A and B are shown apart, each in its own frame.
Chain A
Amino acid sequence: MSPPERRRPFGIIAEFPSVSALYRAAEEVRDQGFKFWDVHSPFPIHGMNKAMGLGRSALGYIIFVGGLTGFLTAILLEYIPSSFLYPLIVHGKPVNFFTVPPFFPIMFELTILFSAFTAFFGVFVMNRLPRFHHPLFNHEPFRRVTNDAFFIVIDSTDPRFQKLTPRTCWRKPEAGK
């Protein structure tokens, strides 16, 4: 609890009544050139990345590297013991690197396992989570963001933040006014 004059602003937060209103407002905020802002909704909205002017997530490349690590781990895990440490001759079959098929299932499984771990932890690292305290949680209406409310938040660190006047950033100035 701190008196209102002592509170530092985190950003402007506006609530919108529907997904379509949110979408149009997001396009407008994007066109006005804001940088540090976000749209908050209870579920991912189709096309919102485009409306916000965001590119693709880079997570895919990271997961690929994770998967590759798993694949290489499996190769080392299988061939070092089977070819060098304790070659186990079964059915008289060779144990060298070129007998791939019987070694393949474990390579496949470890590729999947490492990709999954990378994807899972990647989301939270990229999103800077877990973070249990956030200024937005201080804003009472924001509690409905996980239920049925839609918000746009413009961060106070945005270069254009100081010039903001209420109710201008969400829609085009109407003609004749």
Chain B
Amino acid sequence: MAETDLSSTTVFEERMQRRPLVLNNRSMSWISDLIAGIPEAKTPLWWWITTGITASIAGFGVFCILYLLFTGVGVWGNNIPVAWAWGITNFVFWIGIGHAGTLISAILFLTRQKWRTSINRASEAMTLFAVICAGIFPAIHVGRIWMAWFLAPVPNPNWIWPNFRSPLLWDVFAVSTYFTVSVLFWFLGLVPDLATMRDRAKSTAARYIYGVLALGWRGGNRQWLHYELAYLVLAGISTPLVLSVHSTVSFDFATSILPGWHTTIFPPYFVAGAIFGGFAMVLTLMIPSRSIFKLHDVFTMDHIDVMCKILLLTGSIVGYAYSMEFFVAYYGANPFERFAFINRYFGPYWWASWTMFTCNVIIPQLMWVRAFRRNLCVVFFVAMCANAGMWFERFVIFVISLHRDFLPSSWRMFYPTWVDVFTFAGTFGIFLTLFLLFVRFLPMVAMSEVKGVLPEADPHFPGASSNEGLVQEGIATHEPA
């Protein structure tokens, strides 16, 4: 008995030991060479091919948008009663994707999850590009694009001000603040790495461009002092911000009286779904990047493992929300509410709801198994299902709730047109093109942060005690040598 206890304790301790965040005892210069080497290398052929494809899709998306603007929203499939269809579905889908980036950069920073350093840069970039894609839809769905400025908090020509108590105006503020703060946070994190790019640059043009972007960063501790505080504060304010953004998006629906929308569970449910969908998108982008750029030692299987656990957790929260909505519809005894939910799962759009439920709730349960969390094919499959499932979730909420309203004579099915489809595909083109440009020109892993979590970055690291003394000493002069 005692022996079994002992051996199980040893296994337990082995399992519970803190795993290294960077494998194979890589040095700091190795990290710089690996990460900075990606933009420094000659542009690979696959990059031209992939970017050519994604940019063509983006270009066709832009054509669809122009066609919409010059013709009118009639080219989309929405009509009364489904006045909000793919446009708003895509908006909420993309804005949700962004949330994972901010969660990784802000919330995991505050909770001292050091593994975030390997993925925070790429996830934050993903956030920005997703919010750009999201921002397209509110602007173009208004029909009269020249009146999109009515969204701004200024009086219109009749001196009528917007209603500051409307969730739609809250949304304008929330999304624009979110984008701005994400850009600032991302760029602040990028500055030390841009300085690395500047100091390594071979060509004058690269040194000049990265030098200007790095703003003359010198890595002095008196600089890091303010930098770290600002980073902490930005993480601290981004945390409530990211929770508020999708809550505010959900208010657009929750404050209405439509059955299926009018629920108090919406804000937390939307936020959990956003993080779920966002982590799926991070995995979708990072698993191929990891193989292409040989990031295996920096972005390890342990990273993928914990991300899968977050996927499992948030997927289950979403599953709880779906079930609770259904239960409350039954328990609330409101016939309209009951009808909306029976119609959701058993009406003409049953396939959308069951796709949503399968992809978001059932398939992520695979992640309970450690072997699946460490199998890239399974992880990628689950992530792709989650991407699809989260789009269907928004489709289910918006379109199914609208298509059978209070008056049966106005019930109508929604069918997307080719413009709907290609506009949505076009945003994927825009998103992927921007991401490809990002990996081509900027360091996709936060080098300074990854170096900071290496064991030798600790001033009390025992292995370095023999490393006494001085490497070299000299006089720096005002005039160049």
Contacts and interface: CB of A to CB of B under 8 A. Distances in A.
Interface of A: 1-2, 4, 6-23, 25-26, 38-49, 51-52, 54, 56-57, 59-60, 63, 67, 77-78, 81-82, 85-86, 88, 90, 93, 99, 102-103, 105-106, 108-110, 112-113, 115-117, 119-120, 122-124, 126-127, 129-149, 153, 166-167, 170-171
B369 interface: no
Interface of B: 27-29, 32, 153, 155, 159-161, 163-166, 169-170, 173-174, 177, 180-181, 184-185, 187-188, 192, 195-196, 198-200, 211-212, 215-230, 233-234, 237-238, 240-241, 244, 248, 251, 447-449, 451-452, 456-461, 464-465, 467-481
Contacts of A120: 184, 187-188, 230, 234
A130 B191 CA distance: 11
Contact of A130 (B166, B216, B248, B458): B216
Contacts of A117: 180, 184
B156 to A, nearest CB: 10
A81 B161 contact: yes
Contact of A134 (B164, B218, B479): B218
A81 B164 CA distance: 9
**Chain B's interface: helix, strand, loop or mixed, by majority?**
helix
A28 to B, nearest CB: 12
Contacts of B251: 105
Contact of A146 (B166, B188, B195, B470): B195
Nearest to A51: B459
A93 B165 CA distance: 10
Contacts of B166: 90
A74 B224 CA distance: 32
B219 A40 contact: yes
A13 B475 contact: yes
Contacts of B460: 20, 23
Nearest to A63: B233
A176 B249 CA distance: 73
A21 B463 CA distance: 12
Contact of A166 (B227, B456, B473): B473
B479 A105 contact: no
A122 B469 CA distance: 36
Given A46-B458, A81-B155, A90-B165, A7 B192 contact: no
A106 B459 contact: no
B461 A57 contact: no
The listed residue with most A CB atoms (<10 A of its CB), out of B28, B195, B233, B238, is B233
Given A19-B459, A57-B228, 11 more contacts: A7-B477, A8-B479, A16-B470, A38-B222, A39-B221, A41-B224, A44-B228, A105-B173, A132-B212, A141-B474, A167-B473
Contacts of A57: 225-226, 228-229
Contacts of A138: 476-481
Contact of A116 (B174, B218, B237, B472): B237
Contact of A9 (B32, B188, B473, B477): B477
Contacts of A39: 220-221
B470 A167 contact: yes
A106 B169 contact: yes
B239 to A, nearest CB: 10
Given A42-B448, A102-B165, A112 B181 contact: yes
Given A54-B221, A105-B248, A88 B163 contact: yes
The listed residue with most A CB atoms (<10 A of its CB), out of B159, B177, B212, B228, is B177
7 nearest interchain CB pairs? A102-B165, A23-B459, A148-B28, A130-B215, A43-B452, A7-B477, A81-B161
A135 B216 CA distance: 11
B221 A136 contact: no
7 contacts: A9-B476, A25-B470, A117-B184, A138-B477, A146-B195, A146-B198, A146-B199
The listed residue with most A CB atoms (<10 A of its CB), out of B173, B187, B217, B218, is B218
A139 B460 CA distance: 29
Contacts of B448: 42-43, 146
A10 B184 CA distance: 33
A82 B161 contact: yes
A125 to B, nearest CB: 9
Contacts of A78: 164
Given A42-B192, A146-B192, A109 B177 contact: yes
A126 B223 CA distance: 8
A147 B29 CA distance: 6
